[in-house]
Amino acid sequence: MATAAKFVEKDCDAIDINLGCPQSIAKRGRYGSFLQDDWQLLHQIVSEMSKAVSIPITCKVRIFESVEKSVKYALMLQEAGCQLLTVHGRTREQKGPLTGIASWQHIKAIREAISIPMFANGNIQCLQDAQRCLDYTNVDGIMSAEGNLTNPAIFQGVNPVTWEMAFEYLDLVEKYPCPTSFIRGHLFKIFHKIFTFEKNNEERQLLATAQNLEDFKSVCIKIKDKYLLYHQGELKFDNNEGITRIAFDLILPPWLCQPYVRISPEEHTQKMERLSNKQNNNNGEKRASNDIDDEKISRKKMKKLRKIMRRPVKPDLEQHNRRNGEICFNNTCPNPLGGKCVYQLCKKCCKNKCYEEDLDCKGHRILVHTRREMAKKFALQKDKEVC
């Protein structure tokens, strides 16, 4: 970790260690909130990183059930060299449907115990929540995650029109390209309330299968066309459809950015029980699906089939083949060449060529030359420090 910190020191204003991720992948990789079980290791990591670089080392953590243990945890990180601490007021187990309410009491107790700057995270659904949290906990700043995704203007205290936020986001995507999965995820968050209604299933499906920037813009335009007259007041919107409540009982129509309000853990448990009962027939057996030959299909296979059905229809390969049937330019290789390969080779041959001749291929994302140059530069920098 200290070596990695040294590597990016000149490109960053600070380095934040995420010790709050509660996901299963973090457990398997032993990172995120699952490092909080090994205080000795964490102390060593933070201490070595803070000594290795001149920029601040900051940490984001979750709380323990015990206020006392949470305070001791924060003090340990402060003593190790953490220069700014962000505290998410939920335990590691509070995630997904079991998220529940964040404890500002824990955050307040930690704020009173440590002397370094501190941010609070949790229960921030609007600007008023941020101010209430500041007043109650006396922290130096607020961090928002889910609330910021569903309403990017949360800290301005406004609820902008969803498609305006979406178009602004897509302008940034055009300037700074990113994977389509990232784009799709952000737009689903922005339009989350609109997509809760069955009449918008078509737009939801179009977004789910969008493959390029134009597809995403098309979905935003469709949503704008559907709701613009309601927003302008030229059509009357049915008050019994598409409303939600946020702080202070403010009622918002679905075309405005708004917080995502999770159901309580108790409501989630009841919902799961109802679904379980619905999936069982009168004999207590799970319902089975059948194929056209009346053969039973397992639930796992049925789920896979539904997933395949949702995939976009791909054009005929003979009509649209980016390789145009060309073979790798290596005479001994029968593989088709990569459509974007700089050297008109298949990926395997391209990789061999790059390693042997110290080259890069942006088409295959093989950056042998670049990585070797970076390694030389880092080694030279390390030798100078030793001298």
Q: Give the residue numbers marked as catalytic.
A: 21
> With b meaning 16 or more CB within 10 Å and e meaning fewer, what string describes 186-197?
bbebbbbbbbee
Q: Which residues does residue 17 pair with via DSSP β-bridges, in sequence order? A: 59
Give the three-class secondary structure for 21: coil
Q: Are 148 and 127 in contact (CB under 8 A)?
A: no
For residue 337, give the 3-state DSSP assignment: coil
Amino acid, single-letter form, for residue 247: A
Q: How far apart are CA 224 and CA 266, in angstroms?
A: 36
Beta bridge partners of residue 244, listed in sequence order: 252
DSSP letter string, 14-43:
-EEEEE---SHHHHHHT-GGGGTT-HHHHH
What is the rounded CA–CA span in Å between residue 222 and residue 200? 10
Break the chain down into helix, strand, coil percent, rounded to 5.
Answer: 50, 10, 40
- Record the tokens describing residue 83, joined without a space: 């220069």
Residue 364 and residue 360: Cα distance in Å, rounded?
9
Range list of β-strands (E), 278-387: 289-290, 296-297, 360-361, 366-367
Residue 280 DSSP symbol: B
Q: Could you tell me the maximum CA-CA distance found in the chain, to the nearest angstrom?
A: 80
Residue 164 to residues 37, 160, 161, 190, Cα–Cα distance (Å): 44, 7, 6, 10
Q: List C-alpha distances in Å: 180 to 45, 84, 185, 251.
A: 34, 33, 9, 33
β-pairing, 251-252 with 244-245? Answer: antiparallel
